Every structure is written in structure tokens, then in C-alpha cells.
Homo-oligomer: A and B are copies of this chain.
């Protein structure tokens, strides 16, 4: 985990982890950089090079033990534990995120919900109370939460982000279709389906 590891390498580790978990579900116990590469459309040399930044995970000729490599990647990505995540914006998308069962076994759990709609504040969703967005700063601090998802309209996203930063959030997954300004010690990742669709229509 030396700091000089390129971000592009880091960005591929979750993809490797996901593929390995899938292989384990399929009952496989051992794999190779060739097999993994074939599933992912990435060269086996690239996979070996990426993993070599973090240690020696397999033996020449015998491949990788899937459980072992999975555990190591979880450790490297720090998802061997469960991260609590705050969600701001409990509209249609927020609902879907709260109900999505793909977070928990991969290291995350949405535990703190916020909205600014008085009709929603105080109600429960999947066992969690929806809190007033005005309480974001105090509640996130109180719960020592480092990650948040922003699922509010574009117009509201920067204001929410400013509050999250003040609350101590260090990573934001932003679903609003707008670029966010944050300090250098806060990371933002973007999910915008239209950006992906437009990237495909260029070629169609």
C-alpha cells in the first residue's frame, strides 16, 4: 500500500475482487491471471503487474488460490470490515440504494439516511429512520461516518457536499449529474448513467 501505486491500478482492484467473488460462488477454488483476464477483457500480464504492486499472491504455474487472493484484496481495499455509509436524498434512487442487497457482503452498509422533505423526515425505511438534512453534520460526526452517497437533484448537490465535507466525510459517491468541488483530502466518484450512454452512442 505504498503511496506511489497509480490510481489506475487501484481502480482495477475492485474489478478483480468482484470477479474472484463470482468465481468462488461458482465453486472454483483456483484461478490464473489468464482465466481472470479472459473474464475481464484485461491482459494476464496487466493483472500480474497490477497485483505485483501489493505482494506475491500466487505461485508460478499453480495460479491463485481464490479465497486467499480475495482475502488479500479485501484487506488492501480495506473492505474486510463493513463501512457505514450515509445517504443523502431518499427519492426513487435513494430507495433503490437502501434496498440494494449488494452492498453488505462487499464491505458497505447504508446506515444513516437524510432528506429535506418534511413528509419523509421521521419515517422509516428498511429499519432506518430518515433524518432531516439539517442534522447531517451532527449525526455524521456522532457516528464517525467517512463515506456518503449523494442522491439529490443537481441543484442541491454542491450544498449537500459542502455540509458533508464539514461533517468529516472523506469519500462521496455522487449520483447527481454535476461535478462537485471538494477539498484535496476528499474523494468523489461519479455515477451518471447518461455519461455512460453518451459514451456509447458516439460509436453506435
Instruction: Decide yes or no: A97 and B193 within 8 Å by CB, A22-B154, A178-B22, A203-B187 being known contacts.
Output: yes
Q: Contacts A92-B96, A100-B92 given: A77-B198 contact, CB under 8 Å? A: yes
* A134: chain B residues within 8 A (beta carbon): none
Instruction: Say whether A189 contacts B199, CB under 8 Å.
Output: yes
Interface residues of A in 119-154 (CB under 8 A from B): 146-147, 149, 154
Nearest Cβ on chain B to A75's Cβ, whole angstroms: 11
Interface pair A108/B77, CB less than 8 Å apart: no
Least distance between A100 CB and chain B CB atoms (Å) = 7
Interface size class of A (residues with CB under 8 A): 35 or more
Task: Say yes or no: A171 contacts B146, CB within 8 Å.
Answer: no
Within 8 A of B (CB), among A160-204: 170-171, 173, 177-179, 181, 187, 189-204
A50 to chain B, nearest CB (A): 13
Q: Does A118 contact B (CB under 8 A)?
A: no
Chain A residues close to B by CB (< 8 Å):
1, 10-11, 13-15, 17-19, 22, 39-41, 76-79, 83, 85, 91-93, 95-97, 99-100, 102-103, 106-108, 146-147, 149, 154, 170-171, 173, 177-179, 181, 187, 189-204
